[in-house]
Structure 1
Amino acid sequence: MLRRWRSTRGIGLCDPQVNAGCSTATDWPEAQRLRLLSFNIQVGITTQRYHHYLTRSWQHLLPHAGRANNLQRIGDMLGDYDLVALQEVDGGSMRSGYVNQVEHLARLGDFPFWYQQLNRNLGRLAQHSNGVLSRYRPTLLEDHPLPGPPGRGAILLRLGEGVDAIVVVMMHLSLGARTRTRQLAYIRELIGSYRHQILMGDMNTHANDLLLNSPLRDLGLLAPQIEATFPSWRPQRCLDHILLSPSLELEKVSVLAHPISDHLPVAMEIRLPQASTSPQPPMLNTPSPRKR
């Protein structure tokens, strides 16, 4: 069971959902490596040309036969990763055939832990969400609505404890630069006390804007990826990122040639600090807080 925490912000403290079909779950990567993936899946819709935004727009409201196959293709890909950030997923509405896509992908990828962040609830029509899938048990999980118009959110996940803890924030930022700056200032405040930081998601801007012209600029984050991610059929803009603090050692980074969505997924493998091999405090067998 997860430890009981007291929220300092009055928002967002929550538990991951547990995939009962998984045989094992651990607290920390024994190999001291973490394989990361960030993917905006566009609720399982394949877009291959700009005019598909118009001709296939009905798929954002109604179910279609190809969605299940697209989710299966995504699920097949996820088996190679430990921590996955998902954007533009549906939490279970008419358009997805009442399938919670985060839960479904957790089962396909055999992830022990998952969480769906509902950002825009349109009832039976749509459940606009972010999601996280994890092979490791979080020691903290928080759900944060982001500043600006409703509909954007970030998920904060922590692995480990103390000075060697890894904080990971998954996000889908706004299109507007002014609102995006407010959102990044909020995220900067969330992660400022951690030494080891990972930011993942569809950030709707280029790395230079994030590292040089945003509230993140004083953190010294690295953006190792240089390949474009959008649009998936002819990538020209790098909008999807995995940003790292200098304390985390990069092993591999790539943009995957999987044009399932209108974005391409970003993959990364990192080496964790050796100090993190010290024993972690035992988990307390206390009741978990209810999601609020």
Structure 2
Amino acid sequence: MIQRRLKLLSANIQAGSSTRGYHDYVARSWSHVLPMGDKRGSLDAIAQLAGGHDIVGLQESDPGSLRSGFTNQTHYLAQRAGFAYWSHQPNRRMGGVASSANGILSRIEPTDVVVHSLPGRVKGRGVMLARFGRCDTPLTIAVAHLSLGASSRLDQLSFIAELLAGDPHAVLMGDFNCTIEQPEMDLLFKRTRLQPPPHAVPTFPSWAPLRAIDHVLVGDGLQAHARIAMPAAFSDHLALSVELDVPEHCLQ
């Protein structure tokens, strides 16, 4: 079987804000709602990182609110990193001055992009599905940012499991806000063909990573290699890079 090697990246970019320690959540809280700080410089650094990959899933990418200077950050990153295809899913609006979105950047043209709102106690979470190829089981990339609460995550993972059930060529990436060992993750692995990673890669907090809460999970019809965490400028999460072997026929 002919395989094609792709490089994937999942990155919570914190809307280009800088967090270099817990004190910054208070000291630099203004940067999360106002167009201040060197967000453009951070985005340029993230674009350089993203440019070494074929498909990138973004979380907390501002779709064009006050805090980003009304810049659609997913579009900006696509342009700066040379991606021909991009799409985004605006989700949360915060106080009328900030907004957050999931995003996908790709060098391969998707055949379909679908967005879904996720259930949860607090609305404003979503999942994007991009499909590449026209066969019965094309490569499917899902990008999600899950809730902080375990009960909401359980509902969200149940919803995602229905979308990806039975798909051997599915990939689910994003900020899960939980480790693989959490009980709600069991449901995902039981109801889909996604596989737990062979080892944990801590991604949070970025300045002293202790928790593996950002994941790239792949179906049993794919092979993942070289899981590496790397800085996404000064986001509070490290980005997670994975090399993926995909059957060539899935992309046709």
Q: TM-score, normalised by structure 1?
A: 0.80
Question: Would the aligned equivalents of 1:144 and 1:155 in 2 still touch at CA under 8 Å?
Answer: yes
The CA distance in 1 between the partners of 2:176 and 2:236, in whole Å, is 15
Computing the radius of gyration from Cα coordinates, the structure with the larger value is 1
The equivalent residue for 1:234 is 208
Partner residue, 1:136: 108
Out of 11, 35, 39, the position equivalent to 1:39 is: 11
Q: 1:108-136, CA deviations, whole angstroms, 9 ceiling, x for partnerless residues?
A: 11111111111023585112111111111
- Between the aligned residues of both structures, percent identity stands at 39
Q: Using a 3 Å threshold, how does the CA distance of structure 1 residues 225 and 83 change in structure 2: closer, same or farther?
A: farther
Alignment: residue pair count: 249
Q: Select 1:216's aligned residue among 189, 214, 231.
A: 189
More strand by share: 2
Match of 1:254? 228
TM-superposition CA deviations, 1:175-197 (whole Å, max 9, x none): 11111010001001011142211
Gaps of 5+ in 1: 1-29, 281-292
Match of 2:246 in 1: 272
Distance 1:129 1:275, change over 3 A: closer
RMSD: 2.0
Distance 1:128 1:211, change over 3 A: closer
Q: Which residue of 1 aligns with 2:65?
A: 93
> 1:203 and 1:242 mapped to 2: Cα distance?
10
Q: Contact 1:146/1:186 (CA < 8 Å) preserved in 2?
A: yes
Quick one: which of 164, 175, 185 aligns to 1:202?
175
- Asked whether the equivalents of residues 93 and 126 of structure 1 are also in contact (C-alpha less than 8 Å), the reply is yes
Q: Which amino acid aligns with 2:247?
A: P
SS at structure 1 position matched to 2:21:
coil
Deviation of the 1:40 alpha carbon: 0.4
Instruction: Report the residue type matching 1:63 in the other structure.
Output: P
**In the superposition, relative to structure 1, how do residues 107 and 129 fare at CA in structure 2: closer, same or farther (>3 Å)?**
same
CA–CA separation in structure 2 for the residues paired with 1:102 and 1:258: 14
Q: Which stretch of the first structure deviates more once superposed, 245-254 or 145-154?
A: 245-254
Matched to 1:268, the amino acid is: V
Any gaps of 5 or more consecutive residues in structure 2? none
SS of 1:117's equivalent?
strand
Matches of 2:64 and 2:177, distance apart in 1: 25
Match of 1:106 in 2: 78
Contact in 1 for aligned 2:168/2:222 (Cα 8 Å): no
